[in-house]
Amino acid sequence: MLTGRWTRLPGGLLYARASLSPPPAAPVVVLVHGLVVSSRYLLPTAARLAPRCQVQAPDLPGFGRSYKPWPVLDLAQLADALAQWLDALAIPRAHWIGNSFGCQVLAEFALRHPRRVERLVLLSPTVDPAARSYGRQLSRLLRDTLREPPSLGGILLRDLAAMGVQRAWATAALALADRIEDKLPLIQAPTLVVRGGNDPVVPQRWAAQAARLLPHGELAVLPGRGHALNYNAPEALVRLLRPFLGL
């Protein structure tokens, strides 16, 4: 079972969903959401992980229920906010799971705070270097909506309303400008890249390239799934992650 918790950071209050009664001495697993959405769409996976670990799923600053700084925080600032949040919770290290834009935040985090990363999971990592434009990304995202559960659309609209269009647009610009491909070769943590077999946002070519760029990377594919694996395939995803995370 998960519960909502607030943590005061230098910039404001950060909201997270967390295990209510984690197993004693269980490892900490932190899930980081993608662009526009909040930790709300991570719940299907978080709930299935909770019996085996201490789950934490924060709303990044600017997203969901967390504080809304302006101008928006860049990737380095988002990574540092996560480190401040860990400090406040007295969590020295964790396993990390990110989806989409959350992978970009975690790539930055792994470079800035490498000692705080046990193992890293990149679900559907963006941005494909061969499609670094608003038009190509929007086209791919629209195609992906046809492959996601309809209920995800409701979550997206609610979280967009909480974030605001101006903030979402500014953050999207940061995501497009970020060259994750230059950061992956510098990440030392064991890393698993996971792609949905029907994900138009992250084609097989880019997912395989991302895994090859990582010094300790490997690739797994969940056939027939779209971009938001944590929402559209939580049971299959957790089965895949358990041996990698030692759960």
Q: Can you give the pLDDT of all 247 residues of the chain as single tens digits?
A: 899 999 999 999 999 999 988 777 899 999 999 999 999 999 999 999 999 999 999 999 999 999 999 999 999 999 999 999 999 999 999 999 999 999 999 999 999 999 999 999 999 999 999 999 999 999 999 999 999 999 999 999 999 999 999 999 999 999 999 999 999 999 999 999 999 999 999 999 999 999 999 999 999 999 999 999 999 999 999 999 999 999 9
What is the model's pTM?
0.97
Q: Which fold has domain 2-245?
A: Rossmann fold (3.40.50)
- Cα separations (Å) of 224 from 168, 199, 208, 227? 29, 8, 17, 10
- The two structure tokens encoding residue 202: 């992250």
What end-to-end distance do the CA atoms of the chain give, in Å? 17
CB-based contacts of 23, cutoff 8 Å, min separation 6: 51, 52, 53, 54
